[in-house]
Amino acid sequence: MLKPRDPAARARLGWLLLTLALLLPTLPLTQFTLGTLLNGDTWLGLARFAAGFLPPAHDGDFLREVAKETATTLAVASAGLLLAMLLGAPLAFATSRALDDHQLTAARPSRAALAAQSLLRGLMVWLRGVPDIVWALLFVRAAGLGSLPAVLALGLAYGGMLGKVYAEILESQPRAPAQALAAAGASRWQRLCWALWPQALPELISYSVYRWECAIRASAVMGFVGAGGIGQLLDSSLKMLNGGEVATLLLVFLLLVGLSEGVSRWSRRALERDGGGRLLLAGGALAAFSLLWLWPDWRANGFDWRGLPRFAMEFLPPDFSAAALRQLGQGVVETLAMSALGTVLAALLAMPLALPAAGRLGAAAKRATRLLLNALRGIPDLLWAALAVLALGLGPAAGVLALALHTAGVLGRLFAETLENAPPQAEQALLHAGAGRVAAFCYGPLPVVASQWLAYTLYRWENNIRIATVLGIVGAGGLGQQLYLALSLFQQQAAAAVILAMVALSWGVEQLSRALRRRMG
């Protein structure tokens, strides 16, 4: 029996066969097959819809409406982040171990303080465990349409995230100054202001700007549940199959993404120049403008705060009957299957796209591929899901396609960057030795970047599990579809059980990811 020329060939083949074996059950679970994609009727209907994209809608009344809702989307993101900071900063102050007496001195910890911190950390898990779009859906159902539910949703979901990350940033700072102040009898507030705040401020600002960028993308799709902004226009255009309006709105989505990334780059330069003073001033001005812009809409829509307690009580107790648990189990499995298959398809699509994106096929191919990748990742997952539902119909197959397209844009860019940063010596040596370009690539840079590609893919799968829980809000299967159906039928107790399953799944993924990072670290 001849030995293979590549000593690692058998190991690679074994891992490939194991991966395929694990993925096979996801095909029937998600109803995603090649036959679905190759169905002539599917593509004929999609082609008819896509043909309506040209020319993009450009009449004056529509463009004025688009401009107004775009400003609302930016204002919602800014006001939502402001609310999240007002919620997250006190939570971080109360829960950060970097300020605790027993961490800085030999004092014994207070049981009451530890219990209070545990409760607050549990609150943050709950706040960030419920996706922002679900918070928005609940507020819309409880108290009415408009942009205020979107701001409240971002404030709660991102408040939980900011509280956790702000606390971790404080804990990552050198402890010596805080220990010295604690030994001198300084209060918790004094330790923060004089020991940790000056060191942590640039990192706190940088992460807040990153969250603002994320908030723009989130607020852009909240209109799908009636929470205002540009997403509400898009939802109406999709339901009316108005391709021209959809094309214009997609372009605006991409421009918003480009704007947020540009602001993020400017903020990093501002932090390097003056430590963030100019950035804080710009952020304050933006927050003030956002509140002034949104106030007339809030006053006109008449958000009914009195309905919130009554609506919340309708969710108790959650429905955990045997039939409900079976349905929840099916939803969880379907969600995990969607995320796994969508991530693998994205990686398979991203790998060949990474080659031209890294400049290996010429400058023109690099520019064109990078533009494609920016478009794929610039359109939010939920919007891809809405478009996929039009192509494939209701169900998890649309969720798989949406995750694959959006994640391919993210992974394609990351894969290309690792290729550009890979040392070229091994590939050049193989080429000089007479190897072909394909062989030189496979035995030169590919083994170097393969582990990084795998790490990026696993990281995106972790994110895609959370994303897959909400794609069903637009009909793309999983837990999100169960939640939307339960709320539509006024089955609030069943909806409560689905939300708890979402939180549990999000918390489980977070804990697993933390354990893996500790093991790898």
Highest mean pLDDT among 242-251, 342-351, 417-426: 342-351
Residue range 189-204: average pLDDT? 87
Amino acid identity, residue 480?
A: G
Structural domain that includes position 521: 19-51+314-521
Per-residue pLDDT band for 150 (boundaries 50, 70, 90) equals very high
Of residues 152, 141, 132, the one with CA closest to residue 226: 141
Mean pLDDT for the stretch of residues 125-140: 90
Asked if the bond preceding 423 is cis, omega within 30° of 0, the reply is no
Residue 257 Cα distances to 78, 189, 212, 216, 262, angstroms: 14, 38, 11, 8, 9
Task: Give a yes or no: residue 238 inside a domain.
Answer: no
Mapped to the 3 state alphabet, what secondary structure does 318-333 carry?
CCCCHHHHHHHHHHHH
364-383 average pLDDT score? 90
Tokens in use for 201?
């401020």
User: How confident is the model at residue 45, as a pLDDT?
Assistant: 65
Q: Which helix (H) or strand (E) holds 149?
A: helix 147-171
Q: What 3-state class would DSSP assign to 461?
A: helix
The domain total for the chain is 1
C-alpha 310/C-alpha 268 separation (Å) is: 45
pLDDT of 214 > 50? The answer is yes
- pLDDT at position 3 is 43
Q: Kindly list the distances between the CA atom of residue 18 and the CA atoms of 14, 21, 360, in Å, as whole numbers in the listed order.
A: 6, 5, 31
Tell me: pLDDT of 6 over 60.
Answer: no
| pLDDT score, position 290 | 92
Whether 408 maps to a domain, the answer reads yes
Name the pLDDT band for 4 (thresholds 50, 70, 90): very low
Closest to 53 in 3D by CA, of 241, 236, 224, 240: 241
Separation between Cα atoms, residue 267 and residue 282, nearest integer Å:
10
At residue 46 the predicted structure's pLDDT band, cuts being 50, 70 and 90, is: low
Cα distances from 364 to residues 70, 360, 419, 441, in angstroms, run 32, 10, 18, 21
Determine the pLDDT at residue 42.
65
Asked whether residue 42 is domain-assigned, the answer is yes
Is 90 exceeded by the pLDDT of residue 242?
no
pTM, rounded to two decimals:
0.85
Contacts of residue 235, defined as CB under 8 A and 6 or more positions apart, other chains included, come to 223, 224, 386
- CB within 8 A of 90, min separation 6: which ones? 163
Task: Collect all residues with Cβ–Cβ distance below 8 Å to 209 and sequence separation of at least 6.
Answer: 263, 264, 267, 268, 279
pLDDT of residue 326: 93
- Average pLDDT in the 98-116 region? 83
Asked if residue 210 is part of any domain, the answer here is: no
Residue 199, helix vs strand vs coil: helix
- Tell which wins on pLDDT, 299 or 349: 349
Where does the pLDDT of residue 351 fall: very low under 50, low under 70, confident under 90, or very high at 90 and above?
very high
Q: Give the Å distances, CA to CA, from 189 to 42, 179, 186, 201.
A: 61, 13, 8, 15
Query: What's the CATH code of the domain at 404?
Result: 1.10.3720.10
Of 6-10, 74-78, 157-161, 252-256, the poorest mean pLDDT is in: 6-10
What's the whole-number average pLDDT of the chain?
A: 85
Least confident among 23-37, 371-385, 411-425, 498-512: 23-37
Please check whether residue 36 lies inside any domain of the structure: yes
Scanning the structure block, which residue is given the tokens 């058998």? Answer: 10
Domain assignment present for residue 31? The answer is yes
pLDDT bin (cut points 50, 70, 90) of residue 1 is very low
Q: What is the mean pLDDT of residues 342-350?
A: 92
> How many beta carbons lie within 10 A of that of residue 281, not counting itself?
11
Asked whether residue 202 is domain-assigned, the answer is: no
User: Per the domain annotation, does 344 fall within a domain?
Assistant: yes
Q: Is the pLDDT of residue 494 over 90?
A: yes
Weakest-pLDDT range from 33-47, 119-133, 259-273, 329-343: 33-47
